[in-house]
Amino acid sequence: MTGASSGNHRLPDASGGVGVTPETAGWRFLSFGVVQLKAGQSFAADTGGLEVAVVPQSGQFSLEVGGQTFDLQRGSVFTELPQVAYLPPGLTWKVTARSDCVFAHGGAPAEGKLPLRLIAPHEMRVELRGGANAERQVSHILGPDLPAERLLLYEVYTPSGHWSGWPPHRHDGHLGSLYIEETYHYRIQPPEGWAVHRNYSPEDGLDELLLARDGDLILSPRGYHPVAAAPGSNVYYLNFMAGEAVGEGRRTPPVDEARWAWMRQDWEGGALKIPFGR
């Protein structure tokens, strides 16, 4: 399901769905979609030549795949970690909503080296990154500690008024980084809140500020891509990532922007002390 699009910013359609393929994104590896279903509705697809991950965001549904049925549920992205279904290539899968539900799915080319499995919340590493007003939570829902061929999945929580993706970093094949494509699917609390997402690449002139609202999908095609949560807006985004990194290579870190890398040693950032001048 693909809604309105404007460059790297994709808006949900009337049903709440949004998504991209390598063809519509203009890249090589990563597909991603979000589906909203009413109770009783179904959605079916084939993995084809991709490994696919299915991530519940809210509601209850059954996933039928490979002769097995998984019952998945989640109150909301702001209340609990998900169960994530990992699907290898060559399978047909079907979701049937047991209540109104929202789920994300995405895939990348794979050889089928790994089996169908359900990843439980207790297997997912949760960490706090950054500090001061750049502190955020990163949940490794299919991180490099968990088996996949190319896929990497993270859920990032940026509290009101905080920044994430800081220092700005890149993984686009420049400055020694591996080439990895990335999508950001935003959910915001309260729903009328918003965030600012910047994509910029000094080498080729890309520099865009995008207003992210609840349900929006933003692509990070290259360069650096920090995010700022507006005061009063708690911001979640789901990152699907895939590219050159395969297997253990998925542990390869991105490359920080050199002029901001110092902040890893000083998260306060030399903040101005106020009041002054009286």
pLDDT at 195: 98
Give residue 57's domain range: 5-264
The domain spanning residue 62 has which CATH number? Answer: 2.60.120.10
Q: Any residues with CB less than 8 A from the CB of 277 and at least 6 apart, and which?
A: none
Cα 163 versus chain centre, distance: 16
* Residue listed under structure tokens 């955020």: 136
What is the per-residue pLDDT across 113-122, written as a single tens digit (0 to 9) for each? Answer: 999 999 999 9
DSSP strand E in 143-233: where? 152-158, 163-164, 169-170, 180-189, 194-201, 206-213, 217-220, 227-229
Does residue 216 sit within a domain?
Answer: yes
Total domains present in the chain: 1
What is the per-residue pLDDT across 204-223, written as a single tens digit (0 to 9) for each? Answer: 999 999 999 999 999 999 99
- Predicted TM-score (pTM) of this structure: 0.96
Give percent of the chain above pLDDT 70.
Answer: 98
**CA proximity to 71, closest of 63, 82, 80:** 63
DSSP 226: -
Does residue 277 sit within a domain?
Answer: no
What is the per-residue pLDDT across 124-177, written as a single tens digit (0 to 9) for each? Answer: 999 999 999 999 999 999 999 999 999 999 999 999 999 999 999 999 999 999
pLDDT at 127: 97
pLDDT at 157: 98
Torsion (CA) 9, 81, 76, 114 in degrees, nearest 10:
60
Query: What is the spatial distance between Cα 259 and Cα 162, in angstroms, rounded to a whole number?
Result: 20
Q: Return mean pLDDT, the chain.
A: 96
Does residue 145 sit within a domain?
Answer: yes
